[in-house]
Chain A
């Protein structure tokens, strides 16, 4: 089982790294030929950085849009951030100071994460408009995240696992060797689901994470009159232009 998990994680980690690198490169090299920021938009680069920061940290547009989705969505994402920060201790011999600080918060953030996810799932099932636009994969993804959260909580609060052994496994895993994992069903479920999540990341809507930074309606400076904006493929059309 330990071998299986280790190989699975090497594989899915490679997939998410290469997949994300490929997608980010695609977003990077694909031109945005026209200035399309949703206005009113910042007129400076600093303004754009602040707009993006508000979007990523407090979900500004979503807040304007729908308070329920914002509450559940923001609760989930902030909790996930804390939980992930807490998990860094499995990958560091001596966890950073901040990783130590975050431990108690990350532990209880699991509740925020699962409650947020359940809220989102409930909306998907009970709001007719959201139900209409949902595919099976939209439900599966929420369920998978809930299983990851709940299995983690089981290990934290009910059926403790030998986390020292888990840490040794991942420290060895990072050095491309295999150590023994504790024999624990919640742990196996947890890890397999995480590996699957890593694997599907670059092929699914989870791409919203890098995507938001490349969204031209949010990351463009509103200065089209001051600065001429011309993409490479559009520049090729320039030859027939009447000259002044």
Chain B
């Protein structure tokens, strides 16, 4: 299948012995000038990059208090060392969160702290683990900062809340600034600027796709449910990951949103300008790019004259939307202040369920036994609803409303302790396949347990990356790739539209048509 071994699934998540260097050359492709320049980065590694990287590190520490505190505060207690899925799956010690941070911290200490500067003069920087900025260090950065999905699991367990994601973002930004970006993320951001979405799906193709989906829904239910594009003056702008337009099982989720909007009686639209919820500016740790991508949504909302913004199922996109959108592209004083800005599709559907406005037949999902994968960015970097922890409660309540068979995975692998799918943070690319498969080990272990013990057949997710990643890695762990489903796919299965034909009516009509 590939030039690496899929790790063995054990009964429990196992803390492996260290095997230094096993993931040393597992980094991603380096961005070409075409991928770098549209983002405002130099095309290739600049002259004197060492000094420029050192200067950029100093700038980053001045701009981000988190980074400044995290650089100083780590006491190397070891609490985080067994918390990263990439370490657990790969055994490489540089995938332990503190060791990953230290790739940056050791250089920072040497050039930007009094202790590092002083001890370097005496040749004693090794005393405090300080290191020079060299090509080897840059290679390590490139390798290991692209074996982090910025999932923040380590930050839950750190006594000072040190978040490796922040360090990874800073390191990636420094690398991009000296000319060594990551091809996958930067190429995608380029597509967003040029075409409007990560997949490079142009407006006519998008319109065509949406029309096809309308036909599918009508064929299935007999009800005309619209998926409008660029319609002005409607209530809601839906911003959703572009994978929802055609990838499986994402697209079934999109049809679910459309049916929910239809039943709610609200008017809505997608936008060809903001035809992408994802914001890879987060992954590359660059505020300006993240902001520029976010501003498309503001522009689209203004141009279309909508009153509300709702986001589809996407993990990091929800982080950027929930936590950052108001900062990056706000204030949204032109929107209806009676609703959360922005709102998650799960919050939207959950509200309707609370108000008893949707009719379901959960037995439509009886052929499945479900579990739910908490997506890292939703779990640890955002919220749904009014109460802390709503991000765990709301999707589960939706699933339990539309499905009769639901089981949670082991408690330490869900909720705030959830394991990343292994493909987040800009790693969802074929050149990182070994990292992705290995990083999925803890989740696959927890899933295998509920499959074997509880008869779970499917795992629901609310993140486009999780869905794509699982579809790809499940087979490596002898699980079916079609096990992963969208939450709104389950909603869609069970939702009874007003005027919808039941199965019996359907058969009668077919019979009538045949006799005519």
Contact = CB atoms under 8 A, between A and B. Distances in A.
Interface stretch (B263-271, B380-388, B398-406, B420-428): B380-388
Given A133-B98, A211-B73, A61 B158 contact: yes
Nearest to B118: A203
A203 B113 contact: yes
Nearest to B381: A39
Contacts of B391: 39-40
A36 B68 CA distance: 14
B327 A30 contact: no
A59 interface: yes
A64 B327 contact: no
A244 B300 CA distance: 11
Given A64-B156, A135-B128, A225-B340, A27 B68 contact: yes
Contacts, number: 222
B156 A61 contact: yes
Interface in B102-143: 102, 113-115, 126-129
Contacts of B74: 205, 208
A133 B96 contact: yes
Nearest to A140: B127
Contact of A215 (B73, B102, B152): B73
Nearest to B343: A225
Nearest to B331: A228
A170 to B, nearest CB: 28
A130 B327 contact: no
A214 interface: yes
A203 B65 contact: no
A87 interface: no
A205 B68 CA distance: 12
B96 A225 contact: no
A107 interface: no
Interface of B: 15, 17-18, 20, 61-66, 68-70, 72-83, 93, 96, 98-99, 102, 113-115, 126-129, 152, 155-163, 166, 287-288, 291, 295, 298-299, 302, 322-324, 326-327, 329-334, 340-342, 379-383, 386-389, 391-392, 416
Q: Report the 8 A-B pairs with minimum CB-CB distance, sorted nearest first.
A: A244-B334, A135-B129, A211-B73, A217-B161, A40-B388, A65-B157, A130-B78, A129-B81
Given A36-B166, A43-B386, A137-B129, 17 more contacts: A23-B72, A30-B61, A31-B65, A33-B327, A34-B327, A55-B159, A55-B161, A61-B161, A127-B78, A128-B17, A132-B18, A208-B73, A218-B161, A234-B291, A234-B327, A241-B295, A242-B298
Interface of A: 23, 26-27, 30-36, 38-43, 55, 59, 61-62, 64-66, 69, 73, 120, 123-124, 127-130, 132-138, 140, 200, 203-205, 207-208, 211-212, 214-218, 222, 224-225, 227-230, 233-234, 237, 241-242, 244
7 contacts: A39-B382, A66-B78, A129-B15, A133-B78, A211-B69, A230-B327, A234-B291
